[in-house]
Amino acid sequence: MVRALGSQYTLGELLGSGAMGQVYRGADHEGNQYAFKLLRGDLVDDKDFVARFHQERSILVTLRGENLVAVHDLVIEGSTAAIVMDLVSGGTLREQLTATGPILPAEVARIGSGIANALHEVHQAGIVHRDVKPENVLMDDAAPIRTPRLTDFGIAKMAEGSRVGRSTLMAGTPQYVAPEVADGQSVTPAADLYSLGITLYEMCCGVTPFHGETVLQVLRSHAEKLPGRPDGIPDELWEVIWGLLQKNPAARPRSAAQVSAALGSLAQRFWQAQIPVAPRLQAPPAGVPMGQGNTNETVLRMPGPVTPPVARKKRKRLPLIALAAALLAVAAGGGWALATRENSASPAGVQTGGSSEENTETTTRSGKTTTTAQRTTRPEIRLESMPDLVGLKLGEARDKLPQSMEVEIVDQIDDKKADGTVLGQEPAAGEKVDGKAKLIVARPAVTVYFDELPTTAGGWSQKGPAAMDGKQYLHSLSYGGDSYCTRETRTAEYNLSKGFRRGLATVGLSDDSEVTDFTLQLEVFADGRQLTSVRIEFGKVVPLELDLTNVLRLKFQWIVTSTTKTCGRNSLVLGEAKLLGLASEVPVSGLPPRPSTTPNGSSSPTTTTTG
């Protein structure tokens, strides 16, 4: 399914999603293919962002380089803002690292040289990328040797001056962010070089150098620890990484061009020496606290001797907490959030008074148990402003609110957070309280596989294990055999009864398909509304992720698009096709019954209101 964008472009299939928006394949009226990044709607609604969007156009569309994803146009149409970019095949560096783990030192140096070359072009134009990481490096396989190409170099600068950008974005991702950024200093090209050093480190051993259970711990490690050295990294390459990861921005290399040249030279030497890949790590070597093992350290603004760890921790605590508390989650795989709190009797903005509450006390005497009621004094909480509850468990959060407050609890699937963790709140921290609050709470997902469910229309020719691109998928749905000799539209439809939140699958053609140039177009509809449309071809698999909130009917529809012979044993496969829902919403038997409704009859999220 295609749709128009302005007077010159049309958009096709969705290629992916990220923190800043969604990327689509598309074309101009002459048929030239591009990638279109449609930016988040809240950015487009911000007049400061729109103004910056127009201002930066002349710079971004003229930036060119072998290792850059070129920007060809910036389009605003109504509530839609899009960046028109090169369409690059080959996936991201992140996908490569996920698939292979650490890569050869020669390749680390070659790819790193290309990224540094791209950063040099960006810095020469007066732009700081602000988010250098494997997800923002595309590996172009159009050339004989896969070429790294840096993308998203203009978005952060455009968002930086807007109200939405200041409140929801931060320069970097915690594992890759430079320590001076965490310290609240201005962002310079040196911050990009630090992020490049983290990326090189990860390419060598499979992990980033600073880990922690919370974002705040990671940020502190960036500021307070030196990276541990993994085994297997050649001395010359480690020297480059070490130089990039200096805490003082002034101590890092003078320019990205200098780094590119050094890494390019190492790449040739490492290929000739056939240096093997380093071991894959599950966790980085322990970082060395600043002040130990290196007499030439410089921390952030502090040249010369390093402040002792205790004093430095006290000095750093407030900037790091202020930064972490400002971070908000943004949408796909790439946003991040953190709420911090100090250990105190009363949260900020809270006054306490006295009130009594009846408790029970149980005592045992001579084998006889007696339970008595007592009146105990409990502080009565009166709020001047809303405390920061994000990151707390629900019980802890509820204890920080007055008993008289009406609190709406909204459950949200999130398997990355502990069950009952507060993910969001209304009003936001620091805002005025009006007697009501909403807390969004993480809940684990209940999984139901499609191969367990009956279809209400259409269907599949086979259920069970199937192989695609050399991988076996246990819970699969297949449609194939000799049934593609005619170009008929085929469907499989389900009644979800508004009981699920998400759908996941991996889509492709079975490895035992006979016609290798056979292609299909798969479309997915939710209550008649198209969710996605993807091209299916042999040897490639496509991840499918569907938002099924409040969806009653789900339909898969596919048709042959090959122009050559289509007869043969060719099978469309939905591998590991499953539905995710909340325990309180998923139908307990069969499908249908279903969820509670609002007074107008529409389905609502799972909520609980307490007072």
Helix (H) or strand (E) segment spanning residue 268: helix 256-273
Reply yes or no on whether 86 is catalytic: no
C-alpha separations of 130 from 153, 198, 236, 362, 494 in Å: 8, 13, 26, 59, 44
User: Token pair for residue 191?
Assistant: 């911050």
- N- to C-terminal Cα distance for the chain? 48
- Look at the alpha carbons of 184, 190, 193, 197 in this order and tell me if their dihedral is positive or negative: negative
How far is 175 from 22, CA to CA, in rounded Å? 23
Residue ranges of alpha helices (H) inside 373-476 are: 394-399
| 99 contact partners, CB below 8 Å, separation of at least 6 | none
Indicate which residue of 45, 73, 86, 131 is catalytic.
131
| 520 contact partners, CB below 8 Å, separation of at least 6 | 509, 535, 536, 537, 558, 559, 560, 561, 572
37 labeled part of a ligand binding site: yes
How far is 332 from 18, CA to CA, in rounded Å? 5
Instruction: List strand residue ranges (DSSP E) for 384-430, in order.
Output: 406-413, 422-426
User: Token pair for residue 323?
Assistant: 């930064």
| Eight-class DSSP state of 96 | H
How far is 532 from 546, CA to CA, in rounded Å? 8
User: Token pair for residue 88?
Assistant: 């690059």
| 198 contact partners, CB below 8 Å, separation of at least 6 | 133, 175, 176, 208, 209, 245
Which residue in 294, 202, 201, 273 sits closest to 240, CA to CA? 201
Pairing of strands 529-537, 471-473: unpaired
Q: How many CB atoms lie within 10 A of CB 431?
A: 12
User: Token pair for residue 527?
Assistant: 């209550």
How far is 80 from 40, CA to CA, in rounded Å? 8
**ω into residue 227 within 30 of 0, thus cis?**
no
Residues comprising the binding site? Answer: 37
List residues with catalytic annotation. Answer: 131
Residue ranges for the known binding site for ATP are: 37
